[in-house]
């Protein structure tokens, strides 16, 4: 192994360590590793940044815009009404949910599909006194399986298609992956329907935990000079008769604390009144005349008459909040919302919320204005933002336009009029020109973290190929597993890809493994495109952890899951995927 291969190995190991420890986000890790390899002279500028001239990042960006148009117009609302309006047994409800979701994710990015469905499913489950944990993980897994069926089903497939183009081959056609992935996805979906009700425990959502714990919330309010409460007694100011809230302490403006507070105690200007109560009741204190939130209070100051709402927000690995505390990030000022609960691994964290260091997968229970979701749903700060009250399932008048754009993306490549990239760009442009999305909405819909990571992943793949590292890995796999025949070697590649996916994300895993897979295909006299597609499906098959794939992270908090819950259902599905892919690759290759 040459010096460049050793340098590449060292950089990749540092990248993996940083991603696993959550010290760096995936886009920073991948782009940083690519840039470092360029600086070290392992790859030149053209090789390092070739991914940004490849069609894959542009196609992914267009698909995000398309998904935003579908979501905004409610084009999937008829499907949601049919799925969620029936009172059926658990397994039937599960089938009615996951099968259409898998089909939809074949043509739409699964991340926005899950984002649209999570609040609907949790509300539906609450109304029927069911546990959403029995539905949300199967939903995520089903959309992952559905995304393997077409080239536009997931960004991983587009990365592999783009890498094939870089090696001088034709890009993957719309349904070329189907011959490998459909049998595997079919068996996996059947296993999902059978095993999920048996293996998944009933977990409580963060909202349910908060309601059952009845966690008190404290707020401090200042008496306004010259206001209606200045100089009045506590009982005269009706500060003792608040529903579900009580006055626990009075802090004098000039010093001193009075507790408990007697009914005949006189309230003066600049006194600080400390109230304690349930969060959904204490928020109404801002309507009391003569009081204002004291400096530094965790509740946000909303204008009189403003409407409040409660939201669940899930932190992804790229969130700027990860690794920091709420106090460090000045959460209230930055997001115009107050965090009233933090849930990790299905449990509510105790202690001072402002001092908790955030981690990937944390779910924040946030009190904010009703427009909080609109303002932050398309930003990288939160992977998922959902309202805790009933969402609107109605479709807008422009839903047919969004549906037409989706049909264009699917049909135009099939009839040979446009390739996938051009049809996707055309559909995204039509959504903006027709007014379905504003230019700003289209821009905000694109997850630039994913796009940048995909662009950077091509540089990593080129470094692995150019330095001979792929040859070394291929030789090691063939020497170690060659005695088990082609099936054994392919199983080794699949397992290595799936492990890397859990560590460094699916796009990076595909980019790192594909050069090796192409060399192995040559040595085993297999069709390189078949083995490339096998890598694509394996890189998307993340079932073992809540952090290996975005949709798994999105349902982690709302489902109240623990880390080990993913192994319950994920291990059987992973075994089915490994064996199924190995059989299909051997038969077709």
Report the C-alpha gap between 538 and 494 in whole angstroms.
6
Report the C-alpha gap between 459 and 463 in whole angstroms.
6
The arithmetic mean of pLDDT across residues 51-68, rounded, is 88
To the nearest whole number, what is the mean pLDDT of the chain? 82
Note whether 272 and 250 are within 8 A (CB): yes
301 pLDDT exceeds 60? Answer: no
In 3-state terms, what secondary structure has residue 278? strand
Beta bridge partners of 223: 291
What per-residue confidence (pLDDT) applies to 278?
Answer: 62
Report the C-alpha gap between 583 and 462 in whole angstroms.
29
Q: Which of 90-99, 108-117, 126-135 has the highest mean pLDDT?
A: 90-99
Residue in 281, 127, 269, 169 with CA at minimum distance from that of residue 219: 281
DSSP state of 297: -
Q: What percent of the chain has pLDDT over 70?
A: 86
Q: What is the pLDDT confidence band of residue 34, given thresholds at 50, 70 and 90?
A: very high
Mark out the alpha helices in 467-564 (DSSP H runs).
Answer: 469-481, 485-504, 506-523, 528-540, 550-556
Q: How many helices (H) and strands (E) does the chain have?
A: 24, 10
In the chain, ranges of CATH 3.30.70.1450 domains:
207-293, 308-387
Tracing tokens 């070697």 back to the chain, one arrives at 489
CATH topology (fold) of 308-387: Alpha-Beta Plaits (3.30.70)
Report the C-alpha gap between 212 and 444 in whole angstroms.
37
Tell me the CA end-to-end span of the chain in Å, nearest whole number.
30
Report the C-alpha gap between 41 and 35 in whole angstroms.
10
Q: What is the pLDDT confidence band of residue 300, given thresholds at 50, 70 and 90?
A: very low
What per-residue confidence (pLDDT) applies to 426?
Answer: 93
Which of 140-144, 427-431, 559-563 is predicted with the least confidence, judged by mean pLDDT? 559-563
Report the C-alpha gap between 449 and 80 in whole angstroms.
29
Note whether 415 and 167 are within 8 A (CB): no
Quote the crossing angle between the two packed helices 26-39 and 3-20, to the nearest 10°. 160
Query: What does 317-360 look like in DSSP terms, one character per residue?
Result: TT-TTTTSBTTTTTHHHHHSEEEEEEEETTEE--S-GGGPBP-T
Query: What does 404-439 look like in DSSP terms, one character per residue?
Result: HHHHHHHHHHHHTSS-HHHHHHHHHHHHHHTTSS-H
Report the C-alpha gap between 137 and 546 in whole angstroms.
9
* Tens digit of each residue's pLDDT (9 = 90 or more) over 369-417: 777 887 887 677 888 887 765 555 555 778 888 889 888 888 898 888 8
Residue in 292, 311, 313, 294 with CA at minimum distance from that of residue 303: 292
Q: What percent of the chain has pLDDT over 90?
A: 22
419: how many CB neighbours lie within 10 A of its CB? Answer: 15
Identify the CATH class of 207-293: alpha beta
What per-residue confidence (pLDDT) applies to 431?
Answer: 92
Beta bridge partners of 341: 365
Report the C-alpha gap between 108 and 147 in whole angstroms.
8
In 3-state terms, what secondary structure has residue 572? helix
What per-residue confidence (pLDDT) applies to 96?
Answer: 85
DSSP state of 36: H
What per-residue confidence (pLDDT) applies to 160?
Answer: 93
């Amino acid at each position: 192994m040459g010096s460049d291969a050793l340098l590449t190995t060292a950089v990749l190991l540092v990248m993996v360590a940083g991603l696993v420890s959550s010290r760096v986000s995936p886009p920073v890790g991948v782009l940083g590793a690519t840039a470092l390899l360029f600086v070290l002279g392992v790859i030149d500028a053209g090789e390092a940044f070739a991914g940004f001239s490849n069609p894959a990042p542009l196609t992914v960006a267009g698909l995000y815009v398309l998904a935003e148009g579908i979501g905004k117009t409610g084009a999937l609302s008829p499907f949601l009404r049919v799925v969620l309006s029936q009172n059926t047994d658990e397994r039937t409800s599960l089938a009615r949910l996951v099968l259409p979701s898998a089909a939809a994710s074949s043509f739409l990015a699964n991340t926005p599909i899950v984002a649209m469905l999570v609040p609907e499913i949790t509300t539906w489950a609450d109304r029927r006194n069911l546990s959403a944990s029995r539905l949300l993980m199967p939903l995520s897994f089903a959309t992952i399986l559905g995304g393997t069926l077409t080239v536009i089903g997931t960004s991983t497939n587009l990365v592999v298609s783009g890498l094939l183009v870089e090696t001088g081959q034709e890009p993957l056609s719309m349904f070329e992956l189907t011959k490998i992935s459909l049998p595997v996805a079919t068996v996996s979906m059947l296993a999902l329907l059978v095993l999920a009700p048996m293996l998944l425990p009933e977990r409580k959502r963060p909202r349910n935990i908060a309601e059952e714990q009845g966690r008190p919330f404290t707020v401090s309010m200042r008496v306004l000079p010259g206001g209606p409460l200045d100089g009045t007694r506590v009982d005269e100011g009706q500060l003792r008769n608040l529903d579900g809230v009580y006055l626990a302490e009075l802090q004098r403006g000039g010093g001193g604390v009075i507790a408990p507070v007697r009914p005949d105690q006189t309230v003066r200007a600049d006194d600080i009144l400390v109230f304690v109560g349930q969060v959904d009741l204490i928020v109404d204190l801002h309507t009391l005349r003569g009081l204002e939130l004291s400096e530094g209070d965790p509740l946000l100051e909303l204008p009189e008459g403003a409407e409040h709402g409660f939201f669940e927000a899930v932190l992804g690995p790229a969130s700027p909040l990860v690794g920091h505390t709420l106090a460090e990030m000045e959460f209230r000022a930055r997001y115009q919302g107050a965090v009233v609960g933090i849930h990790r691994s299905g449990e509510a964290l105790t202690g001072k919320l402002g001092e908790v260091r955030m981690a990937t997968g944390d779910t924040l229970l946030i009190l904010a204005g009703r427009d909080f979701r609109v303002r932050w749903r398309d930003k990288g700060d939160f992977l998922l933002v959902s309202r805790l009250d009933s969402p609107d399932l109605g479709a807008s008048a422009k839903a047919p336009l969004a549906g037409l754009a989706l049909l264009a993306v699917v049909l135009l490549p099939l009839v040979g009029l446009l390739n996938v990239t051009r049809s996707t760009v055309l559909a995204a442009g039509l959504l903006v020109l027709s007014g379905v999305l504003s230019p700003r909405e289209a821009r905000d819909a694109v997850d630039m973290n994913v796009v940048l990571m995909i662009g950077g992943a091509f540089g990593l793949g080129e470094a692995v190929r150019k330095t001979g590292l792929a040859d070394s890995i291929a030789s090691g796999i063939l020497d170690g597993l060659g005695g088990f025949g082609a099936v054994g070697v392919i199983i080794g590649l699949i397992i290595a890809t799936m492990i890397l996916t859990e560590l460094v994300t699916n796009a990076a895993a595909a980019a790192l493994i594909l050069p090796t897979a192409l060399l192995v295909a040559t040595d085993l006299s297999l069709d390189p495109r078949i083995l490339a597609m096998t890598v694509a499906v394996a890189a998307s098959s993340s079932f073992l952890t809540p952090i290996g794939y975005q949709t798994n992270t999105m349902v982690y908090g709302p489902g109240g899951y623990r880390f080990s819950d993913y192994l319950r259902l994920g291990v059987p599905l992973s075994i089915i995927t490994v064996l199924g892919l190995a059989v299909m690759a051997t038969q077709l290759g």
